[in-house]
Structure 1
Amino acid sequence: MRAGARNALTDVPGIRVGHAQRVGGGYLTGTTVILPPGEGAVAGVDVRGAAPGTRETELLDPRNLVERVHAVVLTGGSAYGLSAACGVMDRLADAGAGFPVEGGVVPIVPSAVIYDLGRGGHFRATPAAELGAAAYDAASADEARNGSIGAGTGAVAGGLAGGVGTASAVLGSGVTVAALAVVNAAGSVLDPSGGLLAGARYGLPGEFGGLGPPSAREADAWRPVKVTSFNTTIGVVATDTALSKAQCGKLAGVAHDGLARAIRPAHTMVDGDTIFGLSTAARSAPSSAEPQDVLAAGADVFSRAVAHAVLAATGRPEAPAYLDVFPSARLLQEERP
């Protein structure tokens, strides 16, 4: 197994990712859009948190009509932020992309939110349709950034700055599996034995080679100033191999294992943890052994994406960056201040 060229969700051929955010004037929030190729992607979902904010997830039940989605929206703003999906729907409808009905199309845009209300100063400074449209317009097949961008702009992670993270894996068969996570967790993202990022344990060779366990002094001194009481980690795991709706749901479910490896505890009463599974079906249906490899990779790429989100996040007074708290975790000489 190896990482894709970008080590990002966009390593799945045809998938585009766009971010838009507002910072200042009371805002600290944003929206991320995932756009599949062509006629859309087969999709499933798995909701594990007890306080989800979602839209169009019931359509992804394998018993229901719609087979493909035309975008996935991940956004800040709690339930208010779901309106960002309206801007994405408008853009898709203008492009003629959607479920065909008499007289036109209805774009299918499942969505999930994180709780970041008030983190920029104003409680109602939340994403709206305009921010969703801006994220759609920014979508690119080359997008591979991690950090405090898009839906992760105002995120926190166990008292540290949270954000967006992404990672990919290319299997021996040539199948690509990749994830994008928006990490906004009450649970700790640190290994219980110290201050190392828990998700980094699942990194591919060299991926987190510049990191090591921080000093015992730094680990013992870490006391989060403020851990939020409303949270949620959301994301997407995608592959180019052909999967059914039910199998996409299973892929999303196994990605939750990766979430739980990287965040402790997860899926609590105040989390709305939601993961979408996507298949572009660009490759033929997998052999009998391959689904196990795809599922295993789905868990690992999500753990890695969580680690990348926290490692790249921008610190702020109420939520410091990981390497500001644990500077000794940085091992590479050329990266030292």
Structure 2
Amino acid sequence: MKAGRANALVDVAGLRVGHAERVGAGYRTGTTVVLAPPGGMVAGVDVRGAAPGTRETELLDPRNLVERVHAITLTGGSAYGLSAACGVMERLADAGIGFPVEGGVVPIVPSAVIYDLGRGGRFRAVPDAGLGAAAYDAASPAEARSGSVGAGAGAVAGGLAGGVGTASAVLPSGVTVAALAVVNAAGSVLDPGRALLSGTRYGLPGEFGPLREPSAEESDAWRPAAVTSFNTTIGVVATDLTLTKAQCGKLAGVAHDGLARAIRPAHTMVDGDTVFGLATCGEPAPDPGGLQDLLAAGADVFSRAVAHAMLAATGREGAPAYLDVFPSALGGVA
């Protein structure tokens, strides 16, 4: 197994990713959009956190009507930020993309939020339809940025700066599976008793380069500031295989295993952890063994995406970056 060309969600052919953020003048928040290929994509969802903020997730139940979605919106702003999806819908509708109904189309844009209210100084400085439209406009099949971008602009994880992370894997069969995570967790992203990022344990050979366990001095000195009372890690895991809605839901479920390997504790009463499973259907449906391989890889790519989010995040007052706190992890001076 190896990483895809960009080691990112966009390694799944047909997907486009766009980020938009506002930082300054009371804002520290943003929106990330995952756009489907022409014809849409099959989707499922798994919500494990006890405080989710979501939109149109009920449509993804295999018993319900809609078979394809046209975008996924991941955004800051807590429940206020769900309005960012309206901007994505408007852009899709203007392009004639959506579920056909009499008189036009209705774009299907399931969404999930993180809690980042007040992190720029102003409580109601949240994403709106304009920011959703900006993320749509920025969407590209080459977008592989990680860190304090898009929905991760105001993220915090266990007292450290959180953010957006992404990773991919190409299985020996040639199938691609990839994840994008917005890491904003109440729990710790560090191994218990150590300061190594838990998600790096699932890295592919050479993926995390010279990263090593930080010095005991740095680990012992780390005292995270109090975490906010509400958090949430959200994201997507996607493949180019043809899956049913139920199988996409299962893929989302195993991605939560990857989330729980990289963040401890996960799925708490103050997290709204939500993962969408996506299938672009560019490749044939898998046999049972192929589905099992996909699910195993899906958990690992989500863990790796969490680690990349933490390594790429930009530190700020009250939320230092991982490598600012633990410079010896890359051979820096303690």
Matched residue, 1:273: 273
Name the residue aligned to 1:142.
142
What is the distance in 1 between the residues matched to 2:69 and 2:175?
21
Kindly provide the CA deviation profile for residues 154-197 of structure 1, in whole angstroms up to 9, marking residues without a partner as x: 00010000000000000001000000000000100001131000
CA distance in 1 between counterparts of 2:83 and 2:225 reads 32
TM-score (norm 2): 0.99
Aligned counterparts of 1:210 and 1:25: Cα–Cα separation in 2: 38
Q: Does 1:85 align with 2:105?
A: no
Distance 1:193 1:223 in 2: 13
Percentage of matched positions with identical amino acids: 81
The letter of the residue matching 2:173 is: S
CA RMSD of aligned residues (A): 1.0
Q: Structure 1 length normalisation: TM-score?
A: 0.98
**Contact 1:226/1:318, CA 8 A, preserved across alignment:** no
Structure 2: runs of 5+ lacking an equivalent: none
The equivalent residue for 2:298 is 298
- The alignment partner of 2:249 has SS state of helix
* Cα deviation 1:14-57 (Å, max 9, x = unaligned): 10000000000000000000001011100000000000000000
1:38 and 2:43 correspond: no
Equivalent position of 2:189 in the other structure: 189
The code of the aligned residue for 1:322 comes to Y
Partner SS state of residue 96, structure 2? coil
- Give the match's secondary structure for 2:50: coil
> Secondary structure of 1:243's match?
coil
Give the Å deviation of 1:227. 1.3
Aligned pairs, number:
334
Residues 233-253 of structure 1 deviation map (CA, whole Å, 9 limit, x = unaligned): 000000000100000000000
Aligned to 1:70: 70
Q: Which SS does the other structure have where 2:292 is aligned? A: helix
Aligned to 2:126: 126
Q: Which letter maps to 2:25?
A: G
Local SS of the residue matching 2:142: coil
Cα distance in 2 for partners of 1:35, 1:160 equals 29
Shift of 1:275: 0.1
Measure, in 2, the Cα distance between the counterparts of 1:293 and 1:191: 26
Q: Is the 8 A contact 1:3 1:169 kept in 2?
A: yes
4+ residue segments displaced more than 6 Å: none
Aligned to 2:193, the other structure's residue is in SS state coil
> Over residues 95-114 of structure 1, what are the superposed CA-to-partner deviations in whole Å (9 max), with x where a residue is unaligned?
01000001100000000000
Cα contact 1:9–1:166 (8 A) shared by 2? yes
1:75-134 Cα distance to aligned partner (Å, 9 max, x none): 000000000000000000000100000110000000000000000000000000000000
SS in 1 for 2:320: coil
Deviation at residue 149 of structure 1 after TM alignment: 0.2
Structure 1, 312-321 or 285-294: larger mean CA deviation: 285-294
Counterparts of 1:251-330 in structure 2, within 5 Å, are: 251-330=251-330
Q: Which residue of 1 aligns with 2:208?
A: 208
